[in-house]
Chain A
Amino acid sequence: MSHAAAHADHHDHHHGPAKGIGRWLYTTNHKDIGTMYMVFALIMFFIGGAMAMVIRAELFQPGLQLVDPQFFNSMTTMHALVMIFGAVMPAFVGLANWMVPVMIGAPDMALPRLNNWSFWIMPFAFLLLLSTLFLPGGAPAGGWTMYAPLVLQTGEAFPFLILAVHMMGISSVLGAINIIATIFNMRAPGMTYMKLPLFVWTWIITAFLLITSIPVLAGAVTMLLTDKYFGTSFFNAAGGGDPVMFQHIFWFFGHPEVYIMILPAFGIVSAIIPTFARKPLFGYESMVYATASIAFLSFIVWAHHMFTVGMPLAGELFFMYTTVLIAVPTGVKVFNWVATMWRGSMTFETPMLFALGFVVLFTIGGFSGLMLGVTPVDFQYHDTYFVVAHFHYVLVTGAVFSIMAATYYWLPKWTGHMYDERLGKLHFWSSVITVNILFFPQHFLGLAGMPRRIPDYAVQFTDFNMISSIGGFAFGLSQLLFLAVVIKCARGGEKATDRVWEGAEGLEWTLPSPAPYHSFTTPPIVR
């Protein structure tokens, strides 16, 4: 037995990272792949952000100053696709790749070669998608929701869009399969399900959501493809089809997708708050059950995205009740986080600041979500800037803030260096102030009657749009600080200890910093 262990160590010694570009192309190492996912997500975050800057620049004042309305529509469409499928989802998958094996005491992901493939699909999917910007007729401009029949008017970009969505979907499903296989089969001895860190639990549930919902999206876009090129009429009323059916199918994917982008965030925040409160997470079991309840509910609320299509009263009532019900498990989570802080011994390093920003601002997004769930008023809110404000509160100050919190939290473990705390705090404060200048006035715009997805607006909406744009530019600039912190930390800095944070608990902190290329080749014993 000791011989086998010695042999394993010896084996390791000769298998560090390969040299040059080959390391990244052929790697099956979960840490390398996790890093590539994170870097890819960061690049996409800036590309999608540049598109948002175009949108906010055009909306700075009424009248068309900079772009054609068609290009404006392309920007809103591409901004959403790039941010959702290119930035937020790959960032969470990257975090899962890096952290799930080391959190459960596994040497790597269960399916390493598949892991390589699921990453390398992504750059090609986005090469396809972004190349549409240079096609005659321009990039897709029918909205990221791709509603038929409008999306069928897309020109040469159409097949690129469909194929890109398929590729992103394949990548996500493969990644999800890998994560489930890893967690189910490779937990260290003694790591029972109810001992899993909450980040791992939220990822199990997220992975099941992905496997269930992404094929539905694949079906929907395939039907679009055959409607466009092969003479079918799934969504063409003149041919006996049903345009509303597309929306039902899309949102049956789309609502679970929303939680795919927020459940891992819950896991991250549930890791960070106990560390900096120096107190165990309050209500661990109820957190697991609340996550599972949210996931279950996510499959029976989809039509609240389409209350205005004209459903029967019974349908509208059903979807209103199930939708507002989500507030219960989500509330449980927020209460548990607050109870974790209660009578703790808190310090406020950058990860904690982002986690606290998450709790407050995500909750505000939750409140507006509750308001949107009340059908009779949704008839007023629907497709206005109120909705835009709502989903940016849950996606930017929710999902994106949690990803930044996670980056600051684990960056010392990844690089072996402490990041620049002063710059990190500056990044947090500039982000949290500007993001509210950016999105809070959009609530007022929506309530005052400004529809979303318009390149130009009536003059009474000018003032809040101007404030929002100024906030947008400042928020965009603030993210360059994030880039600076990450690059600086990767290059050097104060040596990080193994535990990094005084109150940190979990297997990842038992490894040296930076985590060795191969970790837990002999499984740790968890008691």
Chain B
Amino acid sequence: MKSILHRLSLIVGFLPTAALADWQLNLTRGVTSISRNAYDLHMLVLWVCTIIGVVVFGVMFWSIFHHRKSRGAQAAHFHESTTVEVIWTLVPFLILVGLAVPATRALIHIEDASDADMSILITGYQWKWHYKYLEDDVEFFSKLDQDSNRARMLGSGQDPASVENYLLEVDNPVVIPVGKKVRFLTTANDVIHAWWVPALGFKRDAIPGFVNESWALVEEPGIYRGQCAELCGRDHGFMPIVVDARPPEAYAAWVAEFKAKRAAVAQKQDPKRAWAREELVAHGAEVYAARCSDCHAADGSAVNGSAPSLAGGEIVLGAVDDLIDLVMFGTGEMHAFGGQLSDIDIAAVITFARNSFGNNAGDDLQPIKVAEFR
């Protein structure tokens, strides 16, 4: 409440706020040739509109002020003139032609994704992004980070201002090298999303069944933030994008580090071996917190309008085969996780659900059994 009053007082008093970015008025210039073209075109059209506006509204208000009855104005009787009609048809047309030339040039530049140095396949999911580096054999999911996710819950009682980069932070940023032409291939797994980082200067829809192409050559290292820009369901507002542009050497180091970590995890987790129930429950709890808690409550209770109760009932405690099927392939409401989770993850989260929230199935599900469903 105090922060509201504080902000209100700032608004009323029109005092500058501490963070200047709060009052950003204009489009970003960005860090690519595409974003700079867009900015320049934006300013050009804005100035053209402003000048036309000043002239037209100027004439109109001059007339409103001088040609009013209360000042004794007598109405003239003219009501047509072919000459002026032709003039004010042709002049705007010529102005438009003048705008179309640089716009066409910029568009041709944007659509030329040829000769890219590397390609990243971006897949939109409800509500996260998946990145796959086609040349470097790197792939991962990227979703809203836990701090923002906790603070954004209805009635969380947490002040969003206390979370750094609220709603614009992810667990795994997409790392790209600067000075390289990176081709972004966008598609989606469920509904249409749109991948947009303003500093890169474009927005491209991620559409199931289509692969769209766009590109960026980022010139300056830095963290660039964006968001999904196509309504994609309940948590559309909560699937940010973070691009981490690094010098090529730092990028190469990141790829090497990513692969080393992945190898270490793979060594520890063998889907063919028999897993103990405690092991599965412990891992399942992590998977549940990371991947299920967007829709399902932490304690498994029903969430109005998003998820049924997981405590007791046929869904969780019924036939295991049906439950594996549900988790892997989904239904209208339940998302399909078969493509997103490993056999171990699925076995673990099902074992966890059947033995938590007051459920006491007392059994476990082995990863090797999940593999049969693939």
A322-375 residues at the B interface, CB under 8 angstroms: 324-325, 327-328, 331-332, 334-335, 338-348, 356, 359-360, 363-364, 367, 370-371, 374-375
For the complex, give the distance between the alpha carbons of A41 and B47 in Å: 38
A214-256 residues at the B interface, CB under 8 angstroms: 237-238, 241-244
- Is residue B259 contacting chain A, with contact meaning CB distance below 8 A? no
- Is residue B312 contacting chain A, with contact meaning CB distance below 8 A? no
| CB < 8 Å neighbour of B100 from A280, A285, A310, A320 | A320
- Is residue A281 contacting chain B, with contact meaning CB distance below 8 A? yes
Q: In the complex, are the beta carbons of A320 and B198 less than 8 A apart?
A: no
Q: In the complex, are the beta carbons of A376 and B226 less than 8 A apart?
A: no
A452-494 residues at the B interface, CB under 8 angstroms: 453-460, 462-464, 466-467, 470
For the complex, give the distance between the alpha carbons of A453 and B232 in Å: 10
- Is residue A313 contacting chain B, with contact meaning CB distance below 8 A? yes
B26-83 residues at the A interface, CB under 8 angstroms: 26-28, 34-35, 37-38, 41-42, 45-46, 49, 52-53, 56-57, 59-60, 63-64, 67-70, 73-81
- Is residue A159 contacting chain B, with contact meaning CB distance below 8 A? no
- Is residue A379 contacting chain B, with contact meaning CB distance below 8 A? yes
| CB < 8 Å neighbour of A458 from B60, B77, B168 | B168
Q: In the complex, are the beta carbons of A448 and B25 less than 8 A apart?
A: yes
**Secondary structure class of chain B's binding surface, majority of residues:** mixed
Q: In the complex, are the beta carbons of B37 and A376 less than 8 A apart?
A: yes
Instruction: Determine the chain A residues whose CB is within 8 A of the CB of B74 once the complex forms.
Output: 345
Instruction: Determine the chain B residues whose CB is within 8 A of the CB of A278 once the complex forms.
Output: 69, 75
For the complex, give the distance between the alpha carbons of A284 and B57 in Å: 21
Given A316-B107, A344-B75, A346-B68, do A243 and B207 touch, yes or no (CB 8 Å)? yes
Shortest distance in angstroms between B55's beta carbon and chain A's nearest beta carbon? 10
Instruction: Determine the chain B residues whose CB is within 8 A of the CB of A283 once the complex forms.
Output: 79-81, 85
Q: In the complex, are the beta carbons of B56 and A454 less than 8 A apart?
A: no
Instruction: Determine the chain B residues whose CB is within 8 A of the CB of A138 once the complex forms.
Output: 305
Q: In the complex, are the beta carbons of A331 and B208 less than 8 A apart?
A: no
For the complex, give the distance between the alpha carbons of A62 and B156 in Å: 12
For the complex, give the distance between the alpha carbons of A374 and B101 in Å: 11
Q: How large is the interface on A (under 10, 10 to 19, 20 to 34, 35 or more residues)?
A: 35 or more
- Is residue A131 contacting chain B, with contact meaning CB distance below 8 A? no
Q: In the complex, are the beta carbons of B38 and A380 less than 8 A apart?
A: yes
- Is residue B222 contacting chain A, with contact meaning CB distance below 8 A? no
Q: In the complex, are the beta carbons of B209 and A343 less than 8 A apart?
A: no
Given A313-B111, A460-B22, do A64 and B69 touch, yes or no (CB 8 Å)? no
- Is residue B165 contacting chain A, with contact meaning CB distance below 8 A? yes
For the complex, give the distance between the alpha carbons of A462 and B35 in Å: 25
Interface-forming stretch among B128-136, B189-197, B279-287, B338-346? B189-197
Instruction: Determine the chain A residues whose CB is within 8 A of the CB of B35 once the complex forms.
Output: 380
Q: In the complex, are the beta carbons of B25 and A447 less than 8 A apart?
A: yes
**Which B residue sits closest to A276, measured CB to CB?**
B69
A53-81 residues at the B interface, CB under 8 angstroms: 61-65, 67-71, 73
Given A243-B207, A283-B80, do A321 and B154 touch, yes or no (CB 8 Å)? no
Given A327-B92, A457-B237, A458-B168, do A334 and B56 touch, yes or no (CB 8 Å)? yes
Number of B interface residues at 8 Å Cβ cutoff, please give it.
Answer: 111
- Is residue B252 contacting chain A, with contact meaning CB distance below 8 A? no
- Is residue A383 contacting chain B, with contact meaning CB distance below 8 A? yes
| CB < 8 Å neighbour of B53 from A63, A142, A367 | A367
- Is residue B204 contacting chain A, with contact meaning CB distance below 8 A? yes
Q: In the complex, are the beta carbons of A328 and B234 less than 8 A apart?
A: no
- Is residue B152 contacting chain A, with contact meaning CB distance below 8 A? yes
**Which A residue sits closest to B159, measured CB to CB?**
A63
For the complex, give the distance between the alpha carbons of A62 and B93 in Å: 44
For the complex, give the distance between the alpha carbons of A382 and B204 in Å: 10
- Is residue A51 contacting chain B, with contact meaning CB distance below 8 A? no
Given A63-B152, A384-B229, do A328 and B64 touch, yes or no (CB 8 Å)? no
Q: In the complex, are the beta carbons of B49 and A317 less than 8 A apart?
A: no
Q: In the complex, are the beta carbons of B104 and A317 less than 8 A apart?
A: yes
- Is residue B147 contacting chain A, with contact meaning CB distance below 8 A? no
- Is residue B292 contacting chain A, with contact meaning CB distance below 8 A? no
Q: In the complex, are the beta carbons of B11 and A467 less than 8 A apart?
A: yes
For the complex, give the distance between the alpha carbons of A345 and B66 in Å: 9
Interface-forming stretch among A3-11, A13-21, A145-153? A145-153
**Which B residue sits closest to A243, measured CB to CB?**
B207
- Is residue A521 contacting chain B, with contact meaning CB distance below 8 A? no
18 A–B contact pairs at CB < 8 A? Answer: A63-B151, A64-B155, A73-B236, A138-B305, A150-B192, A281-B79, A310-B205, A313-B107, A342-B59, A346-B63, A346-B67, A383-B203, A444-B24, A448-B25, A449-B198, A451-B196, A454-B237, A456-B152
Binding site for A on B (CB under 8 A): 4, 7-8, 10-11, 17, 19, 21-28, 34-35, 37-38, 41-42, 45-46, 49, 52-53, 56-57, 59-60, 63-64, 67-70, 73-81, 84-85, 88-89, 92-93, 96, 99-100, 103-104, 106-108, 110-111, 151-156, 158-161, 165-168, 186, 190-192, 194, 196, 198, 201-205, 207-210, 212-213, 226-238, 304-306, 332-333
Binding site for B on A (CB under 8 A): 61-65, 67-71, 73, 137-138, 141-143, 147, 149-150, 153, 155, 237-238, 241-244, 277-286, 308-310, 313, 316-317, 320-321, 324-325, 327-328, 331-332, 334-335, 338-348, 356, 359-360, 363-364, 367, 370-371, 374-377, 379-380, 382-384, 444, 447-449, 451, 453-460, 462-464, 466-467, 470, 503
